[in-house]
Structure 1
Amino acid sequence: MGAAGCGGPAGSGDVTLKLVAADYGNSPKTSSSVYWKKLAAEFGKRHPDIKVDVDVRSWKTVDADVAAMVKRGDAPDMAQVGSFADYADKGELYSADQLLSVPVQSSFVSQLAEAGRVDQKQYGLPFVASTRLLFYNRDLFDAAGIKAPKNWADIASDARALKDDGVPVPFALPLGSEEAQAETMMWMLSGGGGYTDTTDGPYTIDSDENVRTFRWLKDNLVGKGLTGPVAPGKLDRADAFKEFTEGKVGMLNGHPTLMNDARKAGIHFGMVPMPGKDGAAKSSMGVADWMMAFKQNKHAKQIGEFLDYVYDDQNVLDFATQYDLLPVTYSANDEMSVDDSEKDLHQFQKTLSTSELYPFGKSSWSQVSGLIKKDIGQAVEPGNDPQQVLSKIAKQAGAADAAAQ
């Protein structure tokens, strides 16, 4: 792992670019540093005047690490992390059109490019993407004599049948502090709502649609004992996933990583798009991680040349397939869609074109996400009014958004 800020030996390049990137691996062998160092070396052969110094850090610290670097005046040239809007608001980032060639800039999947905008200009370059599907345990469903749900009524009736058949957790609803903002968004979209109406519009957390969604969850799943013994507000996603791989969960929302974990555990599972209230949902939830480029070292030309190489289809595919993620460009997605060796990801790909992402372009989002993680579980607790809980979060989110303007 290279140290950010270190230059190469004499004659190794006229410009040294510093890249800080998140680690998607879980061991030295699978670390993202292996990918980045190989990519940087190959790029260096084509551009001997540009050296790329790679510093790969844990997802647990990388966002805070980059923030600390920027604060002390030692910003990297590029950072591949989880958010970008704060830096864009402060004028610290290059926009996409200042860096990328036209073909690369126009290659991004439109939903992802749109989510990377702040004030109608793209600063966040999507690096990898993912979507979410509803997983179900086929063996438990067969034993209960039920089929995959197509609407909310099916979810409720399937969950009841699973409970009657002795399944400990008919529907896992992780609204705990780990990733409650994701589970919340999936259900909001399923109910015709969302966090905002437009990419840069105000928060709509307590909209009528969202309130109806959480009332349905409270009355039809949680209140009827169909979400297991742990209160949703105390259940983290990792624990829900673990129970699914142990055969204790009938249904839950999941991402591609769960496929491999479940398969290794011998779970016979199926996947369907998250149903809407009365049928197909208007959209699914998409997730993206981001690349951004800082102005501090004035290396726009060299950064652009490197990022054009990063977004070459083969490089995009190599990284995405290694970590069971989705490519961020149309052409790379087209390649993946006809590759039988990646057929497990094809269902996730199908929902990418209708996906909606977090409001990444709002610099208040990280704070609002924290509010949701902290309080959203209260919306389905016995004795609580979902509207009051959502209105409380909405008021705090509005204040955070106003303060960030």
Structure 2
Amino acid sequence: MLERIVKRVPMRNPRALSRTIMEMVAEGELSQGMRMPTVREVADALGMSPAGVAAAWRELVDWRVLETRRRGGTTVLGPAVPRRATRYDVMMKASEGIPLNIGHLTPDKTILPPLERAFAAALGDARVHDAAPDPISQRLREAVEPNWPFQPGFMMATHGGIAAAELALQTSVRPGDRVIVDAPTVSRILDILEALGARAVPVTYREGGPDLGELRTALAMRPAAFVYQPVGNHPTGFSVTPEWIGRAADLLAEAHMPIIELVQAPLMHAQPWLSLGTRLPRIVVHVHAYNFFTGTDLRVGVAGGSSYYIDRMWQKLTFSSGWVSRILQNALAFQLTDATALAELQRYVDTCRRRHADMLDSLARVGFSLPRTDGPTIWLPVPDEYVVTNQLSSRGIVVHPGSYFAPAPLDIDHVLINGSALGSQQTLVAETIGSIVSAIVPRGR
């Protein structure tokens, strides 16, 4: 085996070695279960340093091509497996064939504002089909900038809020870096960090904001970024206070990393929206996602803030022409500025808020004491999240386990509910949850 590896490696460096091993495994020359030579043996045969071979081995372990066990050596697992958004995949599969999905944070398409006039207006832009892209269309910037929580140095449109957060992380975080995250947080953020090979450092989100003591401790780990939700944390629904902004800004004043603020459903929450960008505009990337108000096919987010970090995001998009269509941007701008469209949007928001309040009231009647938030999410404590999710699934109802939204085990099990999903049946669903919970014997911890 060692002779074959030596013959195939084109250059004596870690990347060439890891690439060669990947090819040999994919082609079957190194089969599953084979024991690999030691790092020292490979280094001597190739004339490389042991550190260089070890670096190649770490990359192959990360790609699940090799497995290294203490005292057990290194063996072949199989061909490289592309990284997957594991939490997202599991949640999507869990909802297949289930008639009532109240777990996903997706809008009820039966009550969404109509988009026909928005797209007709968007097509009237003289720059439609212009080959020269802009980070953000003039119409969209004029629609969102007046209500931005601080004066942004740079703004750009993205294919949704998660895409903006992913871009910000991709352009600032390397494998092995630590990234501070609010806990619980958006499950997709955890999937993105795992795909980047970064380590999530959780900071508990309490009423009023992420725990400042935990944040201070996390900052001592020299993180590469801080991702949190200042408004309407998904899934708890909590938001930061002005006092939190002041104290957190003092803690972060000397930070040299991006602070990525993700707001999943800004229009559900009363302005003024709070942001660390009022104190630290040089490092804050503030992101608004709008597809909860426009539907999944008008998926546009806006990032505004740090000129340095957002320009890096924009430059990465230009390599693949991944910029957002002006038609989509201008359709969103129309929805946010036209008087009739705004009235329809407000009715939609009012309906979502009423549904969320009805769901909270129904849960309260069966014994759940929950904080009043603007929604749309409800973070429900339960004695055993997997029993609750499985029992509800067997009754045709999807909710998601709280562990999908945390990088480390939670002190108390939870499930996530989209409080705006139901136009009726809140009482029936709440009673079903209550009956399941009352029959559970809590697990020992």
When normalised by structure 2's length, the TM-score is 0.21
Structure with larger Rg:
2
When normalised by structure 1's length, the TM-score is 0.23
